[in-house]
Amino acid sequence: MHKTIHKLSILFLAGFIFFTATSCQNQSPNSSDKAKDSVIIAIGSEPETLDPTQGWGHGNSPIVQSTLVKYTADLDFENDLATDYWLSQDGLTWTFIIRDDAYFTDGEKVTAQDVAFTLETAKAAQRAVDLTYMESAAAQDETTLVVTLSKPTSIFLNTLASVGIVPEHAYGEDYGIHPIGSGPYKFVEWKPQEQILFVANDQYYGSAPAIQNVTVVFMSEDAALAAVQAGEVDVAYSSATLGTTQVEGYHVEAIPSADNRGFTLPVLPNEGKTTENGAPIGNNVTCNLEIRQAIAYAIDRQQVADLVLNGFGRPAYSENDGMPWNNPDVQIETDVAYAKKLLADAGWKDTDGDGIVEKDGLKAEFTCIYPSGDSVRQAVAMAAAEQVAEIGIRITVEGTSWDDIMQRMFSEAVMMGWGSSIPNETYYLYRSEGALLDDFYNPEGYASKRTDQYLNAAMEALTVEEANQNWQKVQWDGTTGTAMKGECPWVWIVNLDHVTYVRDGLSIGDQPIHGHGHGLPLIQNLNEWRWVED
């Protein structure tokens, strides 16, 4: 009964949002005379802000604002606001030449001073944009920007590719809900928990977008699929568990991503210690390297991808599979016999016949938590737990709130999700100084002087090639590393495809590889979308 009422409520909400959006655009997406210049997009995650200095566009193009440089689909850099740039020989000074034909949507010209203001504001905010290594950003004149770093930092361009430039003259406390930019799209309206409206920026210096009117509605995966089935949206972000549903007039695009799922496993024993916020630290089972490695070798990743993800995914072996900075030596084969040998050699045995190995009176069992309502994380965790049970390790899978996860993640396993198209993530996941802080990066408490040396060398490299060599050594240097055959603070399981329903006749362009996140990566190339002949 309650499920039926819930579904009806979802459909009513979807219809209401659709009516609101189409009223604003004065057209119906189902009519045969529909203007081919508008789209309605359903995604699952509503941004907290549209202010790039506070994190909007992090890891993706912010679309409302321009960036100095931007990514191509194959992860190269190309100029956006910058027409040229160069780095000093000591790796500390970047100089950028800014184009002189870019204007904010209020008619004011974009200058190097606006760029300097943006970077200084983002640094001071200390949010998703990490510019702690930047000493200063200063405009020499209207078109010349000089950025001074405290130390060489190889990820600087990666960071700039997602920091949209804000107008100094029009920036204030409410900028995040009423943004002005110089990007391909102009902000129109934001109704929290319902929708955001964008329109093509007719003052944009680049190629004019073919899609003029954009409505982004926020829906759960179930509601989005219902809206697709009702023909109320043109594009909908879905999930691997729902992606096999066929809907007439739509096709499914499985967009490759670096969005992964895997277990974080506490590497420290439980000695009664807590974090600054009182969260318990350590787990006496997962602190054993042989336990972590045995779990890693026992999981058949391809089987999980095929059965649990309906084929919308691939085995995962690291946080950056397929990226130029990935080390191919991190891949391992499923080997149940080897997993059992690791346990046996370390003294783990099933002495009472209950199917769980134990050592010194300690049974090899622990809890893995995941955010309630996330069907993919639940399914991946349960499939992996079932496979791991074959080697005598019991993993109890439990759904809970994010608030609860933040208190338990330092002492229990978590089905976590990461994935980025930039190498910064490796640094934050494994640096010793980030261990056991009250954020999600390194709750397992991993710390290694050798890893820190490689991380710092990668960050301070003056060339991409040198940086990539050190990023790879972080994972595996031939002896040890963060890889599963190394210290194994993570057991990586699958990389997800981002399953997207697209109305027939709509091209969503050459999608760059997606990072972690529901929906927002989808619109980063919105200015390339267009309606084509059916």
Q: What is the pLDDT of residue 12?
A: 34
Architecture of domain 260-496: Roll (3.10)
- At the topology level, CATH places domain 49-177 in D-Maltodextrin-Binding Protein; domain 2 (3.40.190)
Q: Which of 88-97, 373-382, 404-413 has the lowest mean pLDDT?
A: 373-382
Place of tokens 């695009």: 253
Q: Region 405-426: what's the mean pLDDT?
A: 90
Residues 288-313: what's their mean pLDDT? 96
What's the pLDDT score for residue 517? 64
| 0.85 exceeded by pTM | no
pLDDT at position 56 over 90: no
Residue 459: what pLDDT? 93
What was the pLDDT predicted at 14? 39
pLDDT of residue 136: 97
Q: Based on the number of CB atoms within 10 Å of its own CB, is 501 exposed (0-12), middle (13-18) or buried (19 or more)?
A: buried
- 35 falls in which pLDDT band (50, 70, 90)? low
Query: Taking Cα atoms as reference points, which of 164, 173, 168 lies closest to residue 80?
Result: 164
The pair of structure tokens assigned to 83 is 């027409």
Q: What pLDDT shows up at residue 31?
A: 37
Most confident of 48-52, 290-294, 307-311: 290-294
Looking at residue 390, what DSSP letter applies? G
In the predicted model, what is the mean pLDDT of the chain?
A: 89
70 alpha-carbon distance from chain centroid: 17
- Mean pLDDT, residues 307-328 taken together: 92
Among residues 83, 85, 102, 103, which one has the least CA distance to residue 94?
85
The confidence score (pLDDT) of residue 534 equals 55
Dig out the tokens for 295 from the structure: 């779990």
Q: Which of 96-105, 292-301, 503-512, 518-527 has the lowest mean pLDDT?
A: 518-527
Residue carrying the six token digits 């301070």:
460
Q: Is 101 helix (H, G, I), strand (E, B) or coil?
A: coil
Query: Looking at domain 1-46+192-256+499-534, which of 3.10.28.10, 3.90.1150.10, 3.10.310.10, 3.40.190.10 is its CATH number?
Result: 3.40.190.10
Assign 268 a pLDDT band (cuts: 50, 70, 90).
very high
| 62 residue type, one letter | P
Check residue 518 and give its pLDDT.
Answer: 52
In 3D, which of 165, 301, 218 has the Cα closest to residue 40?
218
pLDDT for 513 equals 75
Q: Is 184 helix (H, G, I), strand (E, B) or coil?
A: coil
**The predicted structure's pLDDT at residue 438:** 77
pLDDT of residue 13: 39
pLDDT of residue 258: 80
pLDDT at position 62 is 87
Q: Which of 204-213, 386-395, 460-469 has the highest mean pLDDT?
A: 386-395
pLDDT above 90 (res 166): yes
pLDDT band at 495 (very low <50, low <70, confident <90, very high): very high
Q: Read off the pLDDT of residues 58-88 as tens digits, 9 standing for 90 and up.
A: 767 789 999 999 887 777 789 999 999 999 9
Q: In percent, how much of the chain has pLDDT > 90?
A: 72
Q: How far apart are CA 120 and CA 173, in angstroms?
A: 16
More confident: 19 or 372: 372
- Percent of the chain at pLDDT > 70 equals 92
**Mean of the pLDDT values across residues 288-292?**
98
Residue ranges matching CATH 3.40.190.10 in the chain: 1-46+192-256+499-534, 49-177
Closest residue by Cα to residue 238 from 416, 402, 5, 41: 41
Q: Which residue has the higher pLDDT, 243 or 389?
A: 389
* Mean pLDDT on 102-131: 94
Flag whether pLDDT at 273 surpasses 50: yes
Q: Are 200 and 208 in contact (CB under 8 A)?
A: yes
CA distances from 522 to 97, 165, 334, 386 (A): 30, 21, 33, 33
The residue ranking higher by pLDDT, 162 or 494, is 494
Within the chain, all domains assigned CATH 3.10.105.10 are found at 260-496
Q: Is 350 left (phi over 0), alpha (psi -120 to 50) or beta?
A: beta
